[in-house]
Structure 1
Amino acid sequence: MSELTPELLLHGYSLGIFPMAENRDDPDIFWVDPKRRGVMPLDGFHLSRSLAKAMRQSTFDVRINAEFDAVVAACADRSETWINAEIARLYSALHERGQAHSLELWDGSDLVGGVYGVTLGAAFFGESMFSRRTNASKMALAVLVDRLNRAGFTLFDTQFQTGHLASLGVIEIPRAAYQARLEHAKARKADFAAPEILPLQDVMQRMTQTS
């Protein structure tokens, strides 16, 4: 692959492909175009009773874009990761342009969970998430789905469907169906930063009322 720029990275997303590295120490980056794509229906998040209870009792604070680079670093801080230094640099550059965002959970001064992704039109491309406390990544994902709904997004791309994501509502769709949803989303506008930040308890209540 030729040297990636933020512009080329966004162009790849607009075509329905995304970059990965084999591991953190491999400098090479390649494009991925899955035959079956993971997506989270924005009306299909599965809020289990146990997760609802955890959100109701949680003292975590929700923040948006407070420590984007720290979220990326936390997502890469595992034994196996596709996030190398160049990928982290590129997403940081997109964040500076307002086209990549993080949603974070904080316990006082400790960053305990979060998720980050790229926005293009009304599409949100979820890249990775992490958890340093029980249920923190699940809570972050719930808050993210609520924010995407309130911000006017129509597509939440999770790239793949894992067992963990499937338990939260992520489905798989064929590449052609994904491309159709992507074209629809690119033609619309959404603003990730616009909605007010709601506490976990309010998000839980909203999801309970609409489920």
Structure 2
Amino acid sequence: MTRCIILLFAIGLVLVGCSSDITNSNNEKNTSVVSGDSSTDSSINTEITPSIEQNVLQDSPVYVAKREGKVIVQDSETAYEMCVKALIDYYKAIWNGSDIKLDTFIENDNLKQYMQIKIQSQYDLHSEFTDSNEVQNLDIGTWEVEYTDDVDGGFLYLKLPVQINKTTGSYGEVTEFLVRNVNGNLVIVDWYTGAKDSYDFLVRGENLTIDNPNIWNESEWVKKSERKQIEFSGSTR
């Protein structure tokens, strides 16, 4: 098993609903750039109008891997863009009530079901505040990516610290992702936010090591996770 760890810097403002390549009404192109050079800072700072944001949300981007049947280190930038878009859509879903197309990011049905229940639970928790305190944008801090080679074509581990800026106030969380190449596309195979008292912290457990890309294929673990979700839903009613 081979591992390669890379530190990347992406310090900047990520506007909710942005994409990496957007054309505005004046035919000017706003491009989000993420650099793999750890010696320089890179930023995402894309401003969009409400009409453009609506078009972006209707798109279903495909995150294509660079090689057939495996992940390589050079997939890191695309994986990062996918994870950032997933976080944007996730926080908009739980705070603003927006739709999220999990099929864009997740192929595994067990993980998809877990995320659907999680999103509904978090939206129900926040719904009384959504009219006056919606998510405006995200700040992405210094992020990490680690490549691991295995018999299934390898996987990427990404760790993204995020500040969620709302109409009033903000808060921070760190989310960890595992990404694989499935049928030529990069997909998220695990997604964990371990902030104290967060949903994953309470349901999956605290201080977990996120390093098993096959965990959502393990039937006993999935059944245990489903039971914990049911227990958590009952305790919050």
- TM-score (ref. length: structure 2): 0.30
Pair member with larger Rg: 2
TM-score, normalisation: structure 1: 0.32
RCO comparison, higher one (Cα < 8 Å, 6+) = 1
> Higher helix fraction: Structure 1 or Structure 2?
1
